[in-house]
Structure 1
Amino acid sequence: MTTSVNAELQELAASVFGDAASSDTGFDAGLWRTLEETGLARLTLPAEAGGSEGTLEDAAVVLAEAGAHAARVPLVETDLLAGWLLHAAGVPLPDGPLTAVAGTLDVDGTTVRGELPRVPWARAAAGVVVLTGSHVVLLDAGAAKIAEKANLAEEPRDTVTVAGTATTVVAAPDGAAAELRLRAALGRAQLLAGAARGALAATVRYAGQREQFGRPIGRFQAVQQQLALAAGEVAAASAAASAAARAAGAGFSAPSTRFAVAAAKSRTGEAAGVVARIAHQVHGAIGFTREHDLRLWTTRLWAWRDEDGSDAEWNADLGATVLAAGQDGLWPLITG
């Protein structure tokens, strides 16, 4: 259900992200400053951690808009992952954008060694937070060796190599690994739902402008049918992502939350493939060129559906959760 608060937050987020989509790559520093000024950069964190004390449903609204506008900022990583993990471990948060991963490091006191592949936004982060074994490690990005790499959407997915002293090494909170995984999947599902909406909007606009045989192609029944199919996928993805955000209010250890997050990541990933395919079919050859803005959404859809767990992984998790609940527990899982 959309509340007046959600509507106002969506309006604010849409305004902030309004000019975000561009053919540029890498970190959007100007947008990040605006997000910090408006309190959206650390929306769900408590005030003592520099946050705005928002809910996960609030974050879902903002992240969907970020996905819809192809924003080049580490919102999920800073707010839902690194910020949460540091605060839960009792570590003061450094200023600026953050990133977090679960990985393997050799830890000896405050000395850490190892290599972390595919770290999102590492080159732009003020700190890299690593959940490794029973430790939470905060690395100063300037003290680590960063090899710049990217995903299909040209977002930073860097390799971080560290051999030296970490800024902070503390014990990990109980259940941190499981919750970090669910939080990452939840955030990615919101971004996917938003990107699917952005791709559909771009496709509908193009279908209304491109003329063939004397009329816009959007008036042809075959095209209308494909757009309707894409719209159904966008609606299903958005519903699943929103339901997962609501369920997470009960805590990430609840079986209903695990069920809802698994369903959301799986369903948004499935929608990503369908929406991207239809968007490119409607655009025709022009949509496959690098110069066309359609790629801003479709490359993210293709990249994000495999990040933080693929459809196959989350479908397997979904099945395991259902089997563990048994026949008497299935309905409570579905209804939360």
Structure 2
Amino acid sequence: MNEISQIIQETTEKIMKDLCTKEVVEAAEQDIFPTELWQTLVETGMTTIGIPEESGGTGGSLADALTFLRIAAQFSAPIPIAETFVANWLLSKIGLPLLDKTTTIASFQYGNPITFNEASGGWTISGSAHDVPFARYGEAILVIGESEQGNMVAIVDPDTCRIEEGKNYAGEARDHLYFKDVPVESDNVYSLSEVNANEFYYLTALIRGVQMSGALERILELSVKYSKERIQFGRPIAKFQAIQQQIAILAGEVSAAKAMTELAIKSFEAGSGKNQIISAKIRVGEAASLATPIAHQVHGAIGFTEEHALQQSTRRLWSWRDEYGNESHWAKILGEEVLTMEADDLWPFITSMNSKISS
């Protein structure tokens, strides 16, 4: 880890410890947006890490940005930092100014019917997008849709569309957006190349995988801590072999999830990473399905209560695994690619996912 990465990690941890407490997360579930946390992240440049300085960002690598998002996920940060980062990342890719405001994303790529239609003096946007993260708090919405000219992107004022409020299992805002001939001036609509659209599609899945990896690290930390503190039959439950075995399994799943996401990050930075990202999202989802029951078994009933922070992380894991494609979604895509291969191509395909990084 270089000096800049170390500073980013330490700064993120300090901000989150100070301003993203269990009480702040609980308040967010009651629709109290953590304004102080958000403003601090903006003022310190944390929301534009990984975006080149010449594009208006803070600089640093994509890995630095995802480290920031992983640590924020460990603290269950209830703000649209992932969505704002992805929006600014895409804007920088197509040479547009960054946004210094809360931003969310509505894209056609995950089954949302969003279309751009040319109109007098500009364009109109029609369609809908379900489960849009934090849309009610967004000061801008980056909308990606289809048109007769190809994929298009526009920055839309949330007041121009209808927002139907909803929540995921974690109590995070997941709102439904409805666009009915929303007018957008031509100067605010931009063509999105197929390359950038595909990069965006896979980056969103990678980011959710990284966030899930962070939440998994958190539940491991809490489980180990609780097992050392909980006394049963005169000694900590960490002394019991059955508990030790379960925590070992939990630790293995967390390590596998982190290793897969780190491989996917390196692959994406190297200019490829499609199959590594797919594999990471699948593997992290599988880790969540095994890790969350173990964590709750170690904690017993208290892990489900508002008194304990465990449920804030496990509920996010249950929610995030379905966002930007669940295991079934990505397994189908990966399986279809494998089915098109000749027999002699299968093993090179499997081994190439790692050799691309080491080469």
Q: TM-score, normalised by structure 2?
A: 0.86
Select which of 244, 255, 265 maps to 1:224.
244
Whether 1:241 and 2:236 are equivalent positions in the alignment is: no
- Output the CA distance in 1 between the equivalents of 2:334 and 2:10: 34
Deviation at residue 277 of structure 1 after TM alignment: 0.7
- Output the CA distance in 1 between the equivalents of 2:84 and 2:284: 22
Q: Residue in 2 aligned with 1:306? A: 322
Change over 3 Å in CA distance of 1:321–1:16 after alignment to 2: farther
Matches within 5 A, 1:23-62: 23-25=26-28, 26=31, 27-62=33-68
- Output the CA distance in 2 between the equivalents of 1:118 and 1:48: 33
Deviation at residue 332 of structure 1 after TM alignment: 2.2
- Output the CA distance in 1 between the equivalents of 2:173 and 2:167: 4
**1:309 counterpart SS class:** coil
Deviation at residue 323 of structure 1 after TM alignment: 5.2
| Structure 2 unaligned regions, length at least 5 | none
Change over 3 Å in CA distance of 1:247–1:96 after alignment to 2: same
Deviation at residue 121 of structure 1 after TM alignment: 1.2
Select which of 118, 126, 135 maps to 2:152.
135
What do the CA deviations read for 1:26-68 (whole angstroms, capped 9, x no partner)?
Answer: 5422111111122110112222443112211112211110111
Q: Residue in 1 aligned with 2:312? A: 296
Q: Residue in 2 aligned with 1:261? A: 277
Equivalent AA in structure 1 for residue 100 of structure 2: D
Equivalent AA in structure 1 for residue 176 of structure 2: T
Deviation at residue 157 of structure 1 after TM alignment: 0.9
Whether 1:112 and 2:129 are equivalent positions in the alignment is: no
Matches within 5 A, 1:93-172: 93-103=98-108, 104-109=113-118, 110-133=123-146, 134-163=151-180, 164-166=182-184, 168-172=188-192
Deviation at residue 321 of structure 1 after TM alignment: 4.4
What do the CA deviations read for 1:124-175 (whole angstroms, capped 9, x no partner)?
Answer: 1111111101211211113222111111111111111233323622212232
| Structure 1 unaligned regions, length at least 5 | none
Q: Are 2:133 and 2:174, in contact at CA under 8 Å, matched by a contact in 1? A: yes
- Output the CA distance in 1 between the equivalents of 2:352 and 2:115: 42
Q: TM-score, normalised by structure 1?
A: 0.91
What do the CA deviations read for 1:300-325 (whole angstroms, capped 9, x no partner)?
Answer: 01111111111122223333445566
Deviation at residue 272 of structure 1 after TM alignment: 1.2
Q: Residue in 2 aligned with 1:8? A: 7
- Output the CA distance in 1 between the equivalents of 2:311 and 2:92: 36
Deviation at residue 107 of structure 1 after TM alignment: 2.4
- Output the CA distance in 2 between the equivalents of 1:52 and 1:87: 12
Change over 3 Å in CA distance of 1:93–1:60 after alignment to 2: closer
**2:46 counterpart SS class:** coil
Select which of 214, 229, 233 maps to 2:234.
214
Deviation at residue 4 of structure 1 after TM alignment: 4.5
Deviation at residue 9 of structure 1 after TM alignment: 2.4
Q: Are 2:4 and 2:60, in contact at CA under 8 Å, matched by a contact in 1? A: no
Deviating above 6 A after TM superposition, structure 1's stretches of 4 or more consecutive aligned residues are: none
Equivalent AA in structure 2 for residue 98 of structure 1: T
| Percentage of matched positions with identical amino acids | 37
User: Aligned pairs, how many?
Assistant: 330
Change over 3 Å in CA distance of 1:329–1:216 after alignment to 2: closer
- Output the CA distance in 2 between the equivalents of 1:24 and 1:312: 33
- Output the CA distance in 1 between the equivalents of 2:226 and 2:288: 19
- Output the CA distance in 1 between the equivalents of 2:290 and 2:297: 11
Greater relative CO, 1 or 2 (CA 8 Å, sep 6+): 1
**1:18 counterpart SS class:** helix
Q: Are 1:120 and 1:158, in contact at CA under 8 Å, matched by a contact in 2? A: yes
What do the CA deviations read for 1:263-282 (whole angstroms, capped 9, x no partner)?
Answer: 11111111112111111101
Q: Are 2:220 and 2:251, in contact at CA under 8 Å, matched by a contact in 1? A: yes
Q: Are 1:193 and 1:268, in contact at CA under 8 Å, matched by a contact in 2? A: yes
Equivalent AA in structure 1 for residue 14 of structure 2: S
* Higher alpha-carbon deviation: 263-272 or 108-117: 108-117
**1:292 counterpart SS class:** coil
What do the CA deviations read for 1:234-256 (whole angstroms, capped 9, x no partner)?
Answer: 111111111111111122xx3xx
Q: Are 2:42 and 2:100, in contact at CA under 8 Å, matched by a contact in 1? A: no
* Higher alpha-carbon deviation: 141-150 or 237-246: 141-150
